[in-house]
Structure 1
Amino acid sequence: MKNEFIIPFLISFFSISQIFSQNRILTLDDAINIALENNREIRLAKMNVEKAGAAVDEAFGYALPSLDLNGTFTHFLRKPKMPFPDFEALLKNATYSILFDENVIPRDNNKFVPVETKLQSFAQSNNYEAQLLLTQTLFSSTVFRGIGASRIYYNLSKAELNNTISKTVLSVQTTFYGVLLAKQVSEITNASFLNAQDNLRNVKALFNQGLVSEFDMLQAEVQVENIRPMVLQMENTLKTAKDGLKVLLGIPQEEEIDISGEFVYEQETLAEEYDLISEALQSNFGLKSLDLKKQVDEAFIQIDVSEYWPNIAAFGSYSYAGSSDKWNFQNYSSLTVGLSFSINLWKGNRTKNRVEQSTITYKQTEEQINLYKAFLATQVRSKYSELKRVQSLIDAQNKNVKVAERAYEIAKVRYKEGTGSQLEIQNADIALKQARTNYIQSIHSYLVTKFEMEQLLGRTNHEYLLKYESE
């Protein structure tokens, strides 16, 4: 009875363990989407877009009204004093002057006292004021130019994000097909190893029957052992390639992955070289970013120039205040409206020098654009020539594989019939392995060059670009 329960449990346990131990299979599209979600450079570029969006809102805020509430309370520990005529002497002299003029008492000029100044205080110990100030900019070239500059900077941030996405997609494509190449070459090496082992078994059988010499058997054994290190080397190469892909995708190194894909070559008719260069100069993401940077630099020139223009603003102020010595405040309020006008007449040529610096930055960006255009044209020509070269090789390489396979089969038959040698089989196996490797490498070179050309032309799949548009 116990076995009836234990056996099904063990079967279920090992089945579940096998499921969890299986490799994670990734297609090229899967790998690209994972990289777009995990890539740190894309995250930083996305943050820059969000930051630029906040800068646009901030720039608009400078054109909106500003409402400030200010409040103060002061208590004098020692009241301020200022020199002022002696009010007591003034009052005394004025009183005697009236009495003398009205003949109330006889005039006596000795009654007048000299009027001198003395330190007096007119402040009360406790004072408070609350003010509500409303300000509205009516004209400020700096504010208006800043709004336009912030919008251009926002577009520049989005262009940089698209450029980063495009580069990431190209990196994933290149790395993914690098893993696929290592996998294919590993399979070719394994196939060669299996051929050598199969050949060794056949030679041993013939040796046991006395049909071949011990030398032939030793040669077959040496061939097997010569290929074995290559098998291990290719396995390590494949593992290293997978580890590199994990780093690019942001996948933990301890997670086991495998890829699903194949080298598919389709004969394509390439456009004219001039048309491809024109497309690159129009659609390349890096060039678009530089063009927008140039617009930003131009906007900053206008912002610096705007300091020559005046600023005009309307304002309204309501204040409520009070003062007292014994905390029995006397309160009062005031309401004012008005216009303010300000213009700088001279700042020690600081504005002039800032404009000059901004202009130089603008010219530097122009030079960068011209340099990048020349670089793009050179790259497109190089990739175009490489595609043409590989296209002419692939068909020949495919035919060469078929010839090498036929030659290997003939070498085996000749050896079995006694008209061939182990050297012929070894040479045929080496030629077959090299032909298959050359064919796969040619297709790999074509696909990678094609991906690089598409990135130069700005042909990155829009689904990847729109992935961040909706966020």
Structure 2
Amino acid sequence: MKDLENTRCKVLFTRIIFLFMILLVSHVNAQKQQISIAEALELSYGNNEKIKQYNERVQQKIYEDKAAKGNFLPSLNLLGGYTYLSENLEVNTSQISTSLDDLGGKYGAAFIAAYGEQIGLSGVSTESAYSTLVSVLGQFPSYPNMEIDNQQFPTAALTATQPLFTGGKIIAAKKYAKAELNSADIELRQVKYEIANELIKRYLNVVLIKQVVKTRQEVYEGMLKHEEQAARAIELEILPQHVLLRAKVAVADAQKDLNNDLNQEELATMALRTTMNLADSVQFTVMDSIAYKDLYLDFEELLTTAYTKQPILNLIDQKEEMAKQALALEKSKFMPNIAAFGTYNMFRDELPIVPPEFIVGVQAQINLFNGFKDINQLKAKKHLEKEVENAKNYAVKQIHLLVQSNYVTARNQQKLYNSLSATVDLAKENLRINTRRFEEGLGKSIDVIDASLLYKKSKIEQIVALNGYYQAIANLYTAVGEPEKMIPFITK
């Protein structure tokens, strides 16, 4: 009798402690901020470092695209400098002696023609005077070099260049930069989709474990109550002693399962916190449960959406455009480059040789030979186009398989959940009947324990099936490029 009394006291004490812990946890949870899955997703988008990284990449490509537009505009450069020569410049007259002799002959012949009568050479013709003077000057020794007395001088010029024709190079470069910007946008979207899928999975996992914990608590409380009833029945000498031992084992097992799932809940919450990038000091809780919703899924519609919105396919489309423009850039190397230019020279009077004030013109340039480099680069870019085309065909098949597999998984999980609903209802009713029979002295303790374990097993299987159902749908929507579409279905 004393042992039975001690057992009853222990059971009562355990129940008090357990109720106290529940109240304490409830109080702590009341102090926590409840975060819906939509709010959790916004936190993930705002705090995730990888998303910030790809945001910066998008900004980088925006400015690179703007820079590519500058190739259509003229370039204006101001060139300036200061030059110092160790010696004065000299004109090498030996290389222009013939020109100087010719110039002297022309001036001499012109002088004789004008003033021949005054100097007594009126009968000499201009041609005769020119040839005689050139012949005589050619017999003289070489002219001394002419020195330009200017060892230091400033230089300054304003130069403008406007491309007129580049064989399509500028247009291709602009389209290439735009494709890179689009690729950066798609990569950012892809990262967001990955974060959304991870967030949804981890959020659902926390909710799943919370529901499992709740089920474990129900079973544990039921086992405690059954242990107390068994102890009272033994005290009244209705049941044998070994029944209490079996009840204690059932309580211990239920408590062990509960503690394990409480640890799993803590780990799942840590993973969710990491995805949201929340500090450990921020306390939060998630939804207590998620209700089942019957979703109609049209496979052909989902597949069409995937072909349109899947980031991988969108990214390959941009890679295809980039390969096309890279080929256009290589083709432009076989075309001439034509540009207009203009130069305004400053400090002209300071220069040893005075250039004109303005110089304008049009210049064309075309490469004739560079060791077959351009031809080989052109062939390489043609193969790049074919590579991207094959990659796209492969990706389309993989996306089809991904959508189909997740669609089948979602349908199977849906059927499993629906089939388990009746099983759970039956197990719950079975537990109620066996508990009532035991309380009335008509049933056995082992029947109550077995019924409780059966209810726990079927209930947890149903919760897991529901979680698998929503997880499969989350994967399916991610596969088609619409992961956020899952949010309304798992919101209260």
Q: Same fold (TM over 0.5)?
A: yes
Give the corresponding residue for 1:159. Answer: 186
Given that 1:28 and 1:261 are in contact with CA atoms closer than 8 Å, whether structure 2 keeps it comes out as: no
Give the corresponding residue for 1:74. Answer: 83
Give the corresponding residue for 2:173. Answer: 146
Give the corresponding residue for 1:221. Answer: 248
1:369 to 385, 389, 392: 392
1:428 to 448, 451, 469: 451
Using the TM superposition, give the Cα deviation of residue 119 of structure 1 relative to its aligned residue in structure 2, in angstroms.
Answer: 6.5
Cα–Cα, structure 1 residues 121 and 207, in superposed 2: closer, same or farther, change >3 Å? farther
Q: Structure 2 CA distance, aligned partners of 1:177 and 1:86?
A: 92
Q: Structure 1 CA distance, aligned partners of 2:177 and 2:190?
A: 20
Give the corresponding residue for 2:127. Answer: none
Gapped runs of 5+ residues in structure 1? 1-17, 104-111, 465-471
Give the corresponding residue for 1:131. Answer: 157
Given that 1:321 and 1:331 are in contact with CA atoms closer than 8 Å, whether structure 2 keeps it comes out as: no
Q: Which amino acid aligns with 1:314?
A: A
Using the TM superposition, give the Cα deviation of residue 196 of structure 1 relative to its aligned residue in structure 2, in angstroms.
Answer: 1.1
Given that 2:348 and 2:357 are in contact with CA atoms closer than 8 Å, whether structure 1 keeps it comes out as: no
Given that 1:128 and 1:323 are in contact with CA atoms closer than 8 Å, whether structure 2 keeps it comes out as: no
Whether 2:86 is the aligned partner of 1:60: answer no
Give the corresponding residue for 2:200. Answer: 173
Whether 2:317 is the aligned partner of 1:291: answer yes
| Deviations 1:201-249 (CA, angstroms, capped at 9, x unpaired) | 2222222222222211111111111222221111111111111111111
Given that 1:283 and 1:458 are in contact with CA atoms closer than 8 Å, whether structure 2 keeps it comes out as: yes
Higher mean C-alpha deviation, range 361-370 or range 240-249: 361-370
1:406 to 429, 444, 456: 429
- SS of match in other structure, 1:400: helix
- SS of match in other structure, 1:304: helix
Given that 1:86 and 1:118 are in contact with CA atoms closer than 8 Å, whether structure 2 keeps it comes out as: no
Higher mean C-alpha deviation, range 146-155 or range 31-40: 146-155
TM-score using structure 1 length: 0.83
Higher mean C-alpha deviation, range 449-458 or range 243-252: 449-458
Give the corresponding residue for 1:44. Answer: 53
Cα–Cα, structure 1 residues 279 and 322, in superposed 2: closer, same or farther, change >3 Å? closer
Gapped runs of 5+ residues in structure 2? 1-26, 110-115, 121-137, 488-492
Q: Which amino acid aligns with 1:225?
A: A
Q: Structure 2 CA distance, aligned partners of 1:68 and 1:209?
A: 108
Cα–Cα, structure 1 residues 145 and 462, in superposed 2: closer, same or farther, change >3 Å? farther
Q: Structure 1 CA distance, aligned partners of 2:450 and 2:265?
A: 26
How many residues are aligned here? 432
Q: Structure 1 CA distance, aligned partners of 2:144 and 2:431?
A: 123
Q: Structure 1 CA distance, aligned partners of 2:410 and 2:486?
A: 26
Give the corresponding residue for 2:326. Answer: 300
Q: Which amino acid aligns with 1:320?
A: M
Q: Structure 2 CA distance, aligned partners of 1:73 and 1:458?
A: 62
Given that 2:343 and 2:360 are in contact with CA atoms closer than 8 Å, whether structure 1 keeps it comes out as: yes
Given that 2:155 and 2:347 are in contact with CA atoms closer than 8 Å, whether structure 1 keeps it comes out as: yes
Given that 1:180 and 1:261 are in contact with CA atoms closer than 8 Å, whether structure 2 keeps it comes out as: yes
- SS of match in other structure, 2:359: strand
Q: Structure 2 CA distance, aligned partners of 1:303 and 1:118?
A: 55
Q: Structure 2 CA distance, aligned partners of 1:449 and 1:414?
A: 42
Q: Structure 2 CA distance, aligned partners of 1:301 and 1:86?
A: 51
Q: Which amino acid aligns with 2:223?
A: A
| Deviations 1:126-173 (CA, angstroms, capped at 9, x unpaired) | 111110011111112211211122222222222222222222211111
| Deviations 1:56-102 (CA, angstroms, capped at 9, x unpaired) | 21111011011100101112234455754499xx99xx9xx99xx98
Q: Structure 2 CA distance, aligned partners of 1:170 and 1:359?
A: 37
Q: Structure 1 CA distance, aligned partners of 2:409 and 2:177?
A: 42
Give the corresponding residue for 2:365. Answer: 342
Given that 1:86 and 1:117 are in contact with CA atoms closer than 8 Å, whether structure 2 keeps it comes out as: no
Using the TM superposition, give the Cα deviation of residue 387 of structure 1 relative to its aligned residue in structure 2, in angstroms.
Answer: 2.0
Using the TM superposition, give the Cα deviation of residue 274 of structure 1 relative to its aligned residue in structure 2, in angstroms.
Answer: 3.8
Q: Structure 1 CA distance, aligned partners of 2:433 and 2:29?
A: 46
Q: CA RMSD in A?
A: 3.3
Using the TM superposition, give the Cα deviation of residue 391 of structure 1 relative to its aligned residue in structure 2, in angstroms.
Answer: 2.2
| Deviations 1:260-289 (CA, angstroms, capped at 9, x unpaired) | 253222223332x34433332233222112
Q: Which amino acid aligns with 1:360?
A: H
Q: What are the equivalent positions in structure 2 for 1:187-226 lying under 5 Å apart? A: 187-226=214-253
Q: Structure 1 CA distance, aligned partners of 2:147 and 2:284?
A: 87
Q: Which amino acid aligns with 1:315?
A: F
Cα–Cα, structure 1 residues 113 and 308, in superposed 2: closer, same or farther, change >3 Å? closer
- SS of match in other structure, 2:77: strand
Q: Which amino acid aligns with 2:70?
A: G
Q: Structure 2 CA distance, aligned partners of 1:463 and 1:317?
A: 64
Using the TM superposition, give the Cα deviation of residue 47 of structure 1 relative to its aligned residue in structure 2, in angstroms.
Answer: 1.8
Using the TM superposition, give the Cα deviation of residue 254 of structure 1 relative to its aligned residue in structure 2, in angstroms.
Answer: 3.9
Using the TM superposition, give the Cα deviation of residue 357 of structure 1 relative to its aligned residue in structure 2, in angstroms.
Answer: 2.2
Q: Structure 2 CA distance, aligned partners of 1:406 and 1:304?
A: 77
Q: Structure 1 CA distance, aligned partners of 2:94 and 2:421?
A: 114
1:237 to 264, 285, 299: 264
Q: Structure 2 CA distance, aligned partners of 1:302 and 1:56?
A: 18
- SS of match in other structure, 2:238: coil
Q: Structure 2 CA distance, aligned partners of 1:258 and 1:453?
A: 27
| Deviations 1:325-362 (CA, angstroms, capped at 9, x unpaired) | 9xxx9998611111111111122111122222222222
Given that 1:160 and 1:289 are in contact with CA atoms closer than 8 Å, whether structure 2 keeps it comes out as: yes
Higher mean C-alpha deviation, range 76-85 or range 224-233: 76-85
Cα–Cα, structure 1 residues 135 and 123, in superposed 2: closer, same or farther, change >3 Å? farther
- SS of match in other structure, 1:399: helix
Q: Structure 2 CA distance, aligned partners of 1:343 and 1:372?
A: 41
Given that 1:53 and 1:154 are in contact with CA atoms closer than 8 Å, whether structure 2 keeps it comes out as: yes
Cα–Cα, structure 1 residues 463 and 50, in superposed 2: closer, same or farther, change >3 Å? farther
Compare CA radii of gyration and give the structure with the larger one: 2
Cα–Cα, structure 1 residues 86 and 212, in superposed 2: closer, same or farther, change >3 Å? closer
Cα–Cα, structure 1 residues 123 and 430, in superposed 2: closer, same or farther, change >3 Å? farther
Q: Structure 1 CA distance, aligned partners of 2:449 and 2:282?
A: 39
Give the corresponding residue for 2:13. Answer: none
